[in-house]
Copies of this chain bind each other. A is one copy, B any other.
Amino acid sequence: MIDVNDIRHQFPTLHQEVNGHPLVYLDNGATTHKPQVVIDAISHYYEKLNSNIHRGVHFLSQQATDAYEASRETIRQHLNAQHLHEIIFTKGNTEAINLVANGFRQILQEGDEVLVSAMEHHSNIVPWQMACQSSSATLKVIPMDEMGVLDMDSYKNLLSDKTKVVAVNHISNALGTINPVKQMIQWAHEVGAAVLIDGAQAGPHCSIDVQDLDADFYCISGHKVYGPTGIGALYGKEEWLKKLPPYQGGGEMIATVSFDKTTYADLPHKFEAGTPNIAGGIALKTAIDWINQIGLDNIVSYEKELVDYATEELSKIEGIRFIGQAQEKAGVISFIVGDIHPYDMGMILDKLGVAVRTGHHCAQPVMDQFCIPGTVRASFAVYNTKEDVNRLVEGVIKAQTMLS
A residues touching B (Cβ–Cβ < 8 Å)? Answer: 12-13, 16, 18-19, 23, 25, 27, 30-31, 33-34, 38-39, 42-43, 46-52, 55-61, 91-95, 97-98, 101, 121-123, 125-130, 139, 141, 221, 223, 228-231, 246, 248-254, 256-259, 262, 273-280, 343, 346-347, 349-350, 354-359, 362, 364-365, 368
On chain B, the residues within 8 Å of A275 by CB distance are 31, 92, 94, 221, 223, 229
On chain B, the residues within 8 Å of A250 by CB distance are 94, 97-98, 121-123, 126-127, 362
How far apart sit A259 and B114, CA to CA, in the bound complex (Å)?
12
How far apart sit A43 and B31, CA to CA, in the bound complex (Å)?
16
Tell me if B43 and A274 are in contact (CB < 8 A).
no
How far apart sit A61 and B274, CA to CA, in the bound complex (Å)?
30
Known: A59-B355, A91-B274. A52 touches B39 (CB 8 A): no
The complex is assembled from copies of this chain, and their number is 2
Tell me if A61 and B355 are in contact (CB < 8 A).
yes
Residue of B nearest to A33 (CB): B50
**Given B39, B46, B257, B365, which contacts A34 in the complex, CB threshold below 8 Å?**
B46
Tell me if B60 and A229 are in contact (CB < 8 A).
no
Tell me if A365 and B91 are in contact (CB < 8 A).
no
Tell me if A121 and B33 are in contact (CB < 8 A).
no
How far apart sit A231 and B168, CA to CA, in the bound complex (Å)?
29
A37 to chain B, nearest CB (A): 11
How far apart sit A307 and B19, CA to CA, in the bound complex (Å)?
53
Tell me if A48 and B16 are in contact (CB < 8 A).
yes
On chain B, the residues within 8 Å of A31 by CB distance are 50-52, 275
**Given B33, B48, B61, B362, which contacts A27 in the complex, CB threshold below 8 Å?**
B61
Tell me if A46 and B55 are in contact (CB < 8 A).
no
**Given B43, B125, B223, B248, which contacts A94 in the complex, CB threshold below 8 Å?**
B248
How far apart sit A181 and B249, CA to CA, in the bound complex (Å)?
23
On chain B, the residues within 8 Å of A262 by CB distance are 125-126, 129
On chain B, the residues within 8 Å of A362 by CB distance are 55, 250-252
How far apart sit A158 and B33, CA to CA, in the bound complex (Å)?
54
Can you name 27 A-B residue pairings with CB atoms under 8 Å? A12-B48, A13-B50, A18-B59, A30-B55, A30-B61, A34-B50, A39-B46, A42-B43, A46-B228, A57-B343, A57-B347, A59-B355, A91-B91, A94-B249, A101-B249, A122-B251, A122-B257, A123-B274, A125-B249, A125-B257, A223-B278, A229-B276, A229-B279, A230-B230, A258-B368, A277-B277, A277-B280
How far apart sit A378 and B176, CA to CA, in the bound complex (Å)?
53
How far apart sit A49 and B256, CA to CA, in the bound complex (Å)?
43
Tell me if B58 and A346 are in contact (CB < 8 A).
yes
How far apart sit A60 and B47, CA to CA, in the bound complex (Å)?
27
Tell me if A364 and B130 are in contact (CB < 8 A).
no
**Given B12, B94, B358, which contacts A274 in the complex, CB threshold below 8 Å?**
B94
How far apart sit A141 and B258, CA to CA, in the bound complex (Å)?
11
On chain B, the residues within 8 Å of A273 by CB distance are 94, 98, 123, 126
A235 to chain B, nearest CB (A): 18
A214 to chain B, nearest CB (A): 26
A4 to chain B, nearest CB (A): 19
**Given B16, B61, B230, which contacts A278 in the complex, CB threshold below 8 Å?**
B230
